């Protein structure tokens, strides 16, 4: 291993050179293409990008909930200090999924089993993944976790259809939380909810982060709301990681041209700026362009953009764009350098 093991031990999640390709009849979809980042404990990274940029695939690659047509699935993923990519599926299921990392799926409101009482389904991960937990103990834990996410205690005997969307969302979060994993992957957790409910859910997530020390990978296309939880921001475009910065630095001034244009398209409640949109559309991931994948739509594109840019390091920020070639502190080539970037 190239990274000093101390560094990895201290991080909730280290992703190195993660690749996930899908096989279709007419080609290979490069959904996640060489993505590397590290996430400290008690922090949240938000993965933002347009639909089809590979952000959901990345989340699924982390929890290894993959469809059958995987063509290539390589790289290294350290979750809570343990390398998981070398494990076989059964070991992964027993030792990692829901023990170290759990997931709140997209459209989580509809992710509950309609014919099971809430207590039975929230309890299930605990009974399956923590050996030696008795029914009574598990029920106790369900009460505790419901209390924590703000679901009234009486709801424990109810069925999912008796709950509002916001309450169901809380139940699904409770289910992801019950085994106390180090990392929770949230895939568009609030996109189907109303603004007030959404703000409430983010309050719950913040409390989980602060009080339980859980780390989050938040996958979303809603940039404005994502700032509620963000400590780090990871911008994805067409399968590539375009930028990785701390939230302070990113929301003050995004570096990558794509990130800048994306931010200019976010509606704001106050302020006078005109909204801008990005002309054109993202490339197909079936036959992506060879150079920078954003070059076609980029106002700063130059001749060099025909070659794929490396990931440049500027202070503690990473950006994959030739514009920063001169000011960069270096190129991130080895995982060692990456681990040095304390998020």
Partner 1 sequence: MSEQQVQEAVYTPAEAQEQPLLSVRHLKIWYELKRFGFLHAGYVKAVDDVTFDLPRGEAIAVVGESGCGKSSLMKAILGLVHPHDGQILFEGKDIWEGGNTAMREYRMKVGYVQQDPYGALPPFMTIRRILEEPLILAGMKNKEERLQRIIRSLEEVKVTPPDDFLNKYPHMLSGGQQQRIVIARALIRDPKMLIADEPVSMLDASVRVEILKLLDEVQKERHLSVIYITHDLSTVRYFSERIFVMYAGKLIEKASTREILDNPKHPYTWALLNAISDPLAENAKKLRDIPPGEPPSLITPPPGCRFHPRCQKAIQGLCEVEVPPHFSVAADHEVACWLYREEA
Interface contacts to partner 1, rule CB under 8 A: 44, 50-51, 164-166, 194-200, 202-203, 206-207, 221-231, 246-248, 250-252, 261-263, 265-271, 275-278, 281
Length of the chain in terms of residues written: 343
Closer to partner 1 by CB, 4 or 213: give it: 213
What gap in Å lies between CA 138 and CA 122, rounded to an integer? 9
Smallest distance, Å, CB 49 to partner 1?
Answer: 9
Smallest distance, Å, CB 227 to partner 1?
Answer: 5
What gap in Å lies between CA 341 and CA 232, rounded to an integer? 12
Closer to partner 1 by CB, 50 or 83: give it: 50
What gap in Å lies between CA 321 and CA 291, rounded to an integer? 11
Closer to partner 1 by CB, 238 or 337: give it: 238
Closer to partner 1 by CB, 92 or 202: give it: 202
Indicate the SS3 state at residue 297.
Answer: helix
Closer to partner 1 by CB, 233 or 323: give it: 233
Smallest distance, Å, CB 118 to partner 1?
Answer: 17
Closer to partner 1 by CB, 137 or 222: give it: 222
Smallest distance, Å, CB 294 to partner 1?
Answer: 12
Smallest distance, Å, CB 76 to partner 1?
Answer: 28
Smallest distance, Å, CB 157 to partner 1?
Answer: 19
Cα 276 → chain centroid: 26
The two structure tokens encoding residue 310: 């490396």
The two structure tokens encoding residue 5: 């093991």
Closest CA to 256 of 303, 300, 304: 300
Task: Count, in order, helices (H) and strands (E) of the chain.
Answer: 11, 13
What gap in Å lies between CA 225 and CA 8, rounded to an integer? 30
Element (H, E) at 145: helix 135-149
What gap in Å lies between CA 88 and CA 68, rounded to an integer? 15
């Amino acid at each position: 291993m190239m990274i000093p093991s101390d560094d990895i031990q201290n991080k909730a999640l280290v992703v190195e050179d993660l690749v996930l390709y899908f096989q279709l009849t007419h080609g290979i979809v490069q959904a996640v293409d060489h993505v590397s980042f590290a996430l400290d404990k008690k922090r949240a990274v938000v993965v933002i990008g347009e639909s089809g940029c590979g952000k959901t695939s990345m989340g699924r690659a982390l929890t290894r909930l993959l469809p059958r047509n995987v063509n290539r699935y390589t790289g290294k993923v350290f979750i809570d200090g343990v390398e998981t990519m070398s494990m076989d599926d059964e070991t992964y299921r027993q030792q990692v999924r829901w023990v170290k990392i759990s997931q709140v799926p997209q459209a989580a409101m509809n992710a509950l089993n309609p014919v099971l009482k809430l207590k039975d389904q929230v309890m299930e991960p605990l009974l399956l993944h923590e050996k030696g937990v008795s029914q009574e103990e598990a029920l106790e834990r369900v009460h505790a976790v419901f209390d924590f996410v703000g679901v009234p205690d009486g709801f424990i005997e109810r069925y999912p259809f008796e709950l509002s969307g916001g309450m169901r969302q809380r139940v699904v979060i409770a289910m992801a939380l019950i085994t106390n994993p180090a990392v929770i992957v949230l895939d568009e957790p609030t996109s189907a909810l109303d603004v007030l409910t959404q703000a409430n859910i983010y309050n719950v997530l913040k409390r989980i982060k602060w009080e339980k020390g859980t780390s989050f990978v938040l996958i979303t296309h809603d940039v404005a709301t994502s700032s509620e939880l963000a400590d780090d921001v990871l911008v994805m475009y067409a399968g590539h990681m375009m930028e990785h910065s701390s939230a302070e630095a990113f929301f003050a001034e995004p570096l990558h041209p794509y990130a800048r244009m994306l931010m200019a398209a976010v509606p704001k409640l106050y302020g006078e700026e005109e909204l801008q949109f990005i002309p054109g559309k993202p490339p197909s991931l079936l036959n992506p362009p060879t150079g920078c994948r954003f070059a076609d739509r980029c106002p700063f594109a130059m001749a060099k953009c025909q070659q794929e840019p490396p990931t440049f390091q500027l202070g503690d920020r990473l950006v994959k764009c030739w514009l920063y070639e001169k000011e960069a502190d270096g190129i991130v080539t080895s995982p060692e350098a990456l681990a040095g970037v304390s998020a």
